[in-house]
Amino acid sequence: MTARIVVAGASMAGLRAAEQLRAAGWRGAITLVGDEPHPPYNRPPLSKEVLAGKASFESLAFRPRASVSDVEWRLGRKAVAAALDERTVRLDDGTELSYDGLVVATGMRPRRLDCPGPAAGRHTVRTLDDARGLREALTRPGARVVVVGAGFIGCEVAATAVGLGVAEVTVVDPLPLPMAGPLGELLGRAMLERHEARGVRFALGTGVAGFTGEERVTGVELSDGSVLAADVVVESVGSVANTEWLDGNGLDLADGVLTDARLRAGGRPDVVAVGDVARFPNARYDGVPRRVEHWCIPTDTAKHAAKTLVGDAEPVPFAPLPSFWSDQHDFRLQSFGAPVLGKGDVRVLDGDPEGDVLVGYHHDGRLVGVVALGGQAMTASAARYRAELLKQPALTETVSG
Amino acid sequence: MKVVVDMNKCQDHGQCVFAAPDVFSLDDAGHLAYVSDPDDALRDEVEEAADVCPLQAIRIEA
């Protein structure tokens, strides 16, 4: 029988894993299992171009490399159980797949608010179908929108809604500033001012107690008892790892799948994890395993994990340089490195927080991350610091974000 | 090798420049410029550039 690698998860990380397995020399069979009906597609446009009605599915779909034209796709199916000692994965239709290698690429799902109230009218943005449903709701005349969670996704959705002409858009968050968790206070404040200037309202420093309405949501009740009227609620309050199907195998699944530096799970040579779901140590930083939900991580981890599975004699240390971006209104945030590790020492490197600005984040006096906010010239200037960040030696002490 | 960038999609993220600096560059205004017929020896880095393009705007046609 032909040897087979099963890739559980058929989004970007699963696709990249299949392509990188081929690039690493795997000539056996590859089976990709994915619970969405769609072939792999690019998610960042979901909260922006797709919501705004500017992108079709065709424009989102990844073009798989020719090397994976012979892989088997099981779409609309999900892995529900695995027996790693027996090397089998069971799907939701009862099929059992045996494997020689397993790639865990099952990603995340949105965390939902556990509050009393009706479910209709409450949205998340993770899948294409989510985004289409939310777009329909946002474009109903007179829609009043409350976004719960002032992180990147929530702020992107709020900006897109205002751009669509929605008159009432309010973002709620228990923290005092948007995106301050990853970006710190200086840029959090700059982002707050920009959003407010473009018509987004904020209810900060308050949680959500529940939702009003009978059949459908009519409002969001805040923890101080006040109610924001709403027809559309968007919950952007983080995500939960899809790892339940791996239960019972002795893996550390406390937050995603814990891996070693070669992305192996549970010390097994035949099981690797890639993408959002992988909690891996980055040799560039302090060695503490972390999950990283950046767009570039599926590609970075797939390349490394494929070499692990196929059997690379001389592995190089896994030390990806994190980077992420976020487009909101007419400006971009572009980050390189790990600003979250240097929020205690933030310095303006170029420009001015009132306009385009480049901010450096330092740990123990050393630059660990840069974030540009503004137009193209400033994001290009962030790129110039990328080389400096790449050259730095590893951080050896433990840093808490 | 023939490389095509869909300039309607490109938003000048510049990730391709990091992956394949011999093929892609940003000009002084931060806008993309590229070599459309790079040497085949550069295929690995051009494939990498296509992978890391946030807009998936890079196509390798031959």
Same domain, A132 and A164: yes
Chain A positions in Cβ-Cβ contact with residue B26 (cut-off 8 Å): 380, 383
Place of tokens 């799907």: A91
- A31 C-beta neighbours (distance < 10 Å), count: 18
Between A and B, how many residue pairs show a Cβ–Cβ distance under 8 A?
40
Q: Which domain holds residue B48?
A: 3-60
Mean pLDDT, range A135-141, rounded to an integer: 96
Beta strands in A274-394 (DSSP E): 278-280, 290-291, 323-328, 331-337, 346-351, 357-363, 366-374
In a domain, A325, yes or no: no
Chain A positions in Cβ-Cβ contact with residue B58 (cut-off 8 Å): none
**C-alpha closest to that of A232 among A113, A118, A110, A121:** A121
The confidence band for B18, taking pLDDT boundaries of 50, 70 and 90, is very high
Among A282, A310, A338, residue at a domain's last position:
A310
Q: Chain B residues contacting A, CB < 8 Å? A: 9, 11-15, 17-18, 26, 29-31, 47, 51-52, 54-56, 59
Q: How many domains does chain A have?
A: 3
Q: Find the Cα–Cα–Cα–Cα dihedral A316, A68, A291, A293, rounded to 10°.
A: 120
Looking at residue A380, its pLDDT comes to 84
Query: Å from A378 to nearest chain B CA?
Result: 9
Same domain, A93 and A143: no
Q: In the predicted model, is pLDDT for residue A163 greater than 60?
A: yes
Looking at residue A280, its pLDDT comes to 98
Same domain, A133 and A206: yes
- A94 C-beta neighbours (distance < 10 Å), count: 7
Looking at residue B20, its pLDDT comes to 97
Q: How far apart are CA B60 and CA B50, in angstroms?
A: 8
Same domain, A69 and A156: no
Query: What DSSP character marks residue A259?
Result: B
Q: How far apart are CA A376 and CA A325, in angstroms?
A: 12
Phi-psi region of A178 (alpha: psi -120 to 50; beta: other; left: phi over 0): beta
Among A237, A255, A273, residue at a domain's last position:
A237
Same domain, A75 and A131: no
- Segment among A244-253, A381-390, B35-44 with least mean pLDDT: A381-390
The confidence band for A154, taking pLDDT boundaries of 50, 70 and 90, is very high
- The distance of Cα A381 from the centroid of its chain, to the nearest Å, equals 25
The confidence band for A157, taking pLDDT boundaries of 50, 70 and 90, is very high
Looking at residue A165, its pLDDT comes to 96
Q: How far apart are CA A379 and CA A373, in angstroms?
A: 7
Q: In the predicted model, is pLDDT for residue A401 greater than 60?
A: no
Same domain, A145 and A218: yes
Q: How far apart are CA A196 and CA A356, in angstroms?
A: 17
Q: Tell me the average pLDDT of chain B.
A: 93
CB contact (8 A) between residue A299 and residue B52? yes
Pick B56's closest partner by Cβ from A62, A65, A386. A62
What is the enclosing helix (H) or strand (E) of B49? helix B43-52
Q: How far apart are CA A170 and CA A285, in angstroms?
A: 37
The domain spanning residue A165 has which CATH number? 3.50.50.60
Same domain, A180 and A281: no
Q: How many domains does chain B have?
A: 1
Place of tokens 């420093």: A205
Mean pLDDT, range A183-207, rounded to an integer: 97
Residues 6+ apart with CB under 8 A from A269: none
Looking at residue A1, its pLDDT comes to 67
In a domain, A55, yes or no: no
What is the enclosing helix (H) or strand (E) of A49? helix A49-52
Looking at residue B30, its pLDDT comes to 79
In chain A, what's the furthest Cα-to-Cα distance? 65
| Interface probe with B: pick from A54, A57, A59, most Cβ of B within 10 Å | A59
Q: How far apart are CA A337 and CA A394, in angstroms?
A: 12
Chain B positions in Cβ-Cβ contact with residue A299 (cut-off 8 Å): 51-52
Same domain, A342 and A296: no
Same domain, A102 and A246: yes
Q: How far apart are CA A384 and CA A295, in angstroms?
A: 20
Q: How far apart are CA A325 and CA A371, in angstroms?
A: 9
Q: In the predicted model, is pLDDT for residue A313 greater than 70?
A: no
Q: Chain A residues contacting B, CB < 8 Å? A: 16, 19, 42, 44, 59, 62-63, 65, 295-296, 299, 323, 325, 327, 334, 376-377, 379-380, 383, 386
Q: Which residue has the higher pLDDT, A114 or A398?
A: A114
The domain spanning residue B29 has which CATH number? 3.30.70.20
For A338-377, the pLDDT digits (tens) are 999 999 999 999 999 999 999 999 999 999 999 999 988 8
Chain A positions in Cβ-Cβ contact with residue B16 (cut-off 8 Å): none
Hey, is A361 helix, strand or coil? strand
CB contact (8 A) between residue B17 and residue A42? no
CB contact (8 A) between residue A383 and residue B56? no
Chain A positions in Cβ-Cβ contact with residue B29 (cut-off 8 Å): 376-377
Q: Which domain holds residue A386?
A: 330-391
Same domain, A251 and A172: no
Pick A377's closest partner by Cβ from B9, B30, B54. B30
Pick B30's closest partner by Cβ from A62, A327, A376. A376
